[in-house]
Amino acid sequence: MPVAFTAGAGVGLLGGMIGLGGAEFRLPLLIGVFGFLALQAVIVNKAMSLAVVITALPARLVAVPMADLAPHWPVVVNLLAGSLAGAWAGASWATRMRTATLHKVLAGLLVVMAAALVWTHLSPASHSLNLPPAALAVLGLVAGFAIGVVAAVMGVAGGELLIPTIVLLYGIDIKIAGSLSLAVSLPTMLVAFARYSRDQAFTVLAGNGRFILAMTIGSITGTLLGALLLGVIPNLVLIPALALLLLLSAIKLWRH
């Protein structure tokens, strides 16, 4: 229990310092340190990510009021139309993969997360692609589907991919994009969670309740503490270090 809490707090701290939940850092720990099978780790990670996102919503609404978010509801609807289908499909695929295959898929997705992390936090501010409305709607559906698949397969909220997508496609300020990403990721996570509940591996939640509770509380505590330390370590130092950590985790998972 203390080890689970400490590991969760460390992951939450890393995520909180860059404004994310840190689920991408938690997944390698669940497999490599705590010995969960790949699919079990994804389901446990999804349960913890869901709790962290629900906890983050009130704080996010204080930082960015609902009045600032309301004008952007078409963006949420556009992405959700793709991400809900993607979450169901991704969870279905994950439950049918062999463990060795899922390890390699997760390793590849960690590399994608590392690239998204660097792009989001170190690239210059991006402007909208200024696409015609019809093309933007189609691209939003496709992007939403892909993000839903990735979030379901990894058991993460998907903010690492949603935020740059919202900024690039719709030209929205990154602070507002962070709140909109939560509005997309919460329903998307619930759909993936519902699909996983139909698989036998879902029983891992009942069998490891105390561990999951301890790590979840640690993750929430670490995320809140990390948010207080936001900006203390310069992004030019922190982001490459975290990206390297994700790449090393990917290599370990690939060889697991």
- Name the pLDDT band for 95 (thresholds 50, 70, 90): very high
What is the rounded distance in angstroms from the CA atom of residue 169 to the CA atom of residue 102?
Answer: 30
Q: Considering only CA atoms, which of 170, 119, 117, 179 is closest in space to residue 140?
A: 170
pLDDT, tens digit, 9 for 90 and up, residues 110-152? 999 999 888 877 776 656 677 888 999 999 999 999 999 999 9
183 versus 63: the higher-pLDDT residue is: 183
Q: Is 228 exposed, middle or buried (0-12, 13-18, 19+ CB in 10 A)?
A: exposed
228 versus 153: the higher-pLDDT residue is: 153
Residue 90 has pLDDT above 90, yes or no: yes
pLDDT, tens digit, 9 for 90 and up, residues 177-215? 888 998 999 999 999 999 999 998 899 999 999 999 999
The pLDDT assigned to 5 comes to: 95
The pLDDT assigned to 128 comes to: 65
Report percent pLDDT > 90 for the chain: 57
159 versus 73: the higher-pLDDT residue is: 73
CB neighbours of 105 closer than 8 A, spacing ≥ 6? 97, 153
Q: Which helix (H) or strand (E) holds 87?
A: helix 73-96
Query: Chain-centre distance of CA 163, in angstroms?
Result: 11
229 versus 192: the higher-pLDDT residue is: 192
- Name the pLDDT band for 218 (thresholds 50, 70, 90): very high
- Please give the DSSP secondary-structure letter assigned to residue 130: -
Residue 55 has pLDDT above 90, yes or no: no
pLDDT, tens digit, 9 for 90 and up, residues 5-51? 999 999 888 888 777 778 899 999 999 999 999 999 999 999 999 99
The pLDDT assigned to 206 comes to: 92
Return the domain boundaries, the chain: 2-255
Q: Is 232 exposed, middle or buried (0-12, 13-18, 19+ CB in 10 A)?
A: exposed
The pLDDT assigned to 124 comes to: 64
Q: Which helix (H) or strand (E) holds 245?
A: helix 235-255
CB neighbours of 45 closer than 8 A, spacing ≥ 6? 23, 26, 27, 30, 154, 155, 156
Q: What's the predicted TM-score (pTM) here?
A: 0.89
Q: Is 131 exposed, middle or buried (0-12, 13-18, 19+ CB in 10 A)?
A: middle
What is the rounded distance in angstroms from the CA atom of residue 7 to the CA atom of residue 130?
Answer: 43
